[in-house]
Chains A and B, each alone.
Chain A
Amino acid sequence: MTLQLVFDALSLGGIYAIAALGIALIFGVMKLVNFAHGQFIAFAVFALIVPSTDAVAVMGLGAAPALVLVPALLAVGAGLAVASEYLVFRPLRNVSPVALMVASFALGVVIQNALLVIYGGRPKAISLWPELGKPVRLLGAEVPMLQIMVICAVLLVLALLAIMLKRSRVGLEMRAAAEDFGMARLLGVRANAVIAGAFALSGALAATVALVLVAQTGVADVRMGGQIMLIAFIATVVGGMGSLPGAVAAGFAIGAVSVALQAVLPIEARPFRDAFLYGLVILVLLLRPQGLFASASAKPRV
């Protein structure tokens, strides 16, 4: 029972952590709070099926073998994110963070309604890798195969990302840009390349979340990215805006707290779990308004 909870917490927290990373990466390099991230996720979900407004979903890309499907979907997510950067956020490079945030909110509404026009508003059932739903016995607990896959995938993504950020030139440039964008440019970091790179990574992370969501829930709904995006936002704020390790840690923490609340709350209070969660977050922020891992550049310098 308790072990089961640990697996639940790890898999849920892992998804939150990946989504939060996608938001923190972009915030780090260009101070943009990307309100379209949830729609990036939804877009990647719908990229799996053939465009039509019929109630029954026909798998398009989703029918491909996993070896083709996964890289292709990551490319779709990255492509959408880079295209948004080029068309919307690049012309807005010099406006205030508030205006950027509002623009991303508008972009999110545009993408969501474009999906609505193309695919229709009703949620569609799609089954991706149904064989992963089977439970496996592990250390005395019944765990769905999918959950183990998710945890492994999350750890793999985090490890790859950490290696990339620490070891590669692009990663170094990205971290430098997140620390102090102006200084990094003076030292020869190419702004366009770094920002486009951050968007591509963020889009690929959104596609990862999309894959996990579809495999878990088995539906495609135009609204499906919204709730995850909200939690991811909260994780980036709790972790300290702009801190990547903070976002990951806070993502896992929120996952753990939400699984714990689900287990502890009395039955009648369970529908309000998310309300408790958000209330708790506001409490945490009262105690540490700068977040748990505030980055040095978070405070304005005079």
Chain B
Amino acid sequence: MTEHQARKLASLTTPLLLIALLTAFVLLIDAFGDRSLGRMAAETLIRVTLVVGFWIFAGNSGVISFGHAAFACVGAYVSAWMTLKPAMKSLLLPGLPDWVAQAEWHVLPAAVVAGVMAALLALATGAAILRLSGIAASIATFAFLAMVNTIWANWTPVTGGTSSVVGLARYVTPWVGLGWASVAIVVAAIYGASASGLALRATREDEVAASASGIDRYRHRLAAFTVSAFFCGVGGALMGHLIGVINPDGFYLSLTFLMLAMLVVGGIGSLSGAVVGVLVVSIAVEGLVRLEKGVTLGATQFALPAGSQEILIGLAMIFVLIFRSAGLLAGRDLILPAAWVAGRAKTTK
């Protein structure tokens, strides 16, 4: 086995290690048997799906997108349209076309369709936005996010407007989340190792050199954008079915901020960074939310004011950027050493 082959084989262990890490996390939480902890675990795994989806684009291309929360929004509503009971829909969403109003799909095909619709939307908008250079493209994705939010908040007959859509089937357990998170991780690893993924990372490292080598930056960015929107759409659908209630503002700036924070804290340069970032930030958020609700230490009641969670996460993000700008994992992946994978067989150069 050549050194190259051994390295290639070793890189396959990254998604396996990450899935094992998440499985261990779910098993650990399961062992506690606590309901609110179980919910937190399910939410964390949904965020893994979202952030890994986000990473497929942002990590490989080096372009920050502020628009991925909009794909989650579209996904959540598509799944609600397909799965809600017809009686409920005629009450809440009278403007839906007939065949959608009558539909009462199983949740799995609905989640897939949610992802596909988000991906189609990404294909259409990305075709326009991704022609811009990096920073201008980021700003355009921000405009896209605001555009989707404006439409969703005002298109009342179809989206329910700013009032929430309620009654979604709450089927998402930590294991459902783990399933989708694993799919996202495997696809992200496959995309990252594909020719398109490599080409896209080349444009991230040096745009001019990459285009001089004949890489069509626009095409690869669009491919990554579309794949990444699929998982954000699915993540949004799962989010809706975890809480049972959706609202356009649940998929706006605070979700964008949280996804960015997770990616930055873990390190945008690697898939493992995305996953570790979600775990670390989710656990921190859970702790802070409990502190905001108040804890009793001995005889004194102690609570942080509401909003301090965002302040602390924001400060943590700034500190990470100042002192460890590549994130906790600094662009490295969790990986088994190539020598282990190759076994005893000596690697030849």
Contact = CB atoms under 8 A, between A and B. Distances in A.
A binds B: yes
Contact of A226 (B150, B208, B253, B305): B253
B59 to A, nearest CB: 12
A256 B15 CA distance: 52
Contacts of A180: none
Interface in A157-198: none
B134 A92 contact: no
B143 interface: yes
Interface residues of A, number: 47
- Among B151, B307, B322, which residue has the most Cβ atoms of chain A within 10 A? B307
B147 A241 contact: no
Interface string B122-161: 0001001101111110111011101100110011000000
Contacts of A272: 150-151, 154-155
Contacts of B310: 109-110, 112-113
A291 B142 CA distance: 17
Nearest to B143: A278
A262 B10 CA distance: 59
Contacts of B132: 237, 285, 289
A286 B129 CA distance: 8
Contacts of A289: 131-133, 136
A121 B132 CA distance: 37
Contact of A107 (B131, B135, B155, B314): B314
A230 B146 contact: yes
Interface stretch (B239-247, B257-265, B334-342): B257-265
Nearest to A95: B325
A98 B268 CA distance: 11
Q: How large is the interface on B (under 10, 10 to 19, 20 to 34, 35 or more residues)?
A: 35 or more
B147 A103 contact: no
B62 interface: yes
A230 B64 contact: no
Interface string A103-117: 101110110111011
Interface string A13-48: 000000000000000000101000000000000000
Contacts of A99: 321, 325
B317 interface: yes
Contacts of A109: 257, 310-311, 313-314
A291 B135 CA distance: 13
A286 B310 CA distance: 36
Interface string B304-343: 0111101101110110011001000000000000000000
A139 interface: no
A31 B135 CA distance: 9
B233 to A, nearest CB: 20
Nearest to B154: A271
B318 A107 contact: yes
Contacts of B142: 230, 233
B318 A106 contact: yes
Given A92-B322, A113-B314, A278-B144, A285 B151 contact: no
A274 interface: yes
Contacts of B286: none
A26 to B, nearest CB: 13
Nearest 7 pairs between A and B by C-beta?
Answer: A271-B154, A110-B314, A106-B317, A113-B307, A116-B307, A113-B310, A278-B147
Contacts of B317: 102-103, 106
A234 B261 CA distance: 24
Interface string A266-302: 0000011011001101110110011100000000101
A33 to B, nearest CB: 6
A98 B134 contact: yes
B216 interface: no
B151 A106 contact: no
Contacts of B136: 237, 241, 285, 289, 291
Contact of A110 (B139, B154, B315, B325): B315
Contact of A234 (B143, B306, B321): B143
A24 to B, nearest CB: 12
A300 B307 CA distance: 41
12 contacts: A105-B257, A106-B257, A106-B260, A106-B314, A107-B318, A109-B310, A109-B314, A117-B305, A236-B139, A272-B151, A278-B147, A285-B128
B207 interface: yes
A33 B305 CA distance: 30
Given A91-B322, A289-B132, 11 more contacts: A92-B325, A95-B325, A103-B317, A103-B318, A103-B321, A107-B314, A274-B146, A278-B150, A281-B143, A282-B128, A285-B131
B211 to A, nearest CB: 10
Interface string B57-82: 00000111000000000000000000
Interface string A71-107: 0000000000000000010011001011101110111
A293 to B, nearest CB: 14
B306 A117 contact: yes
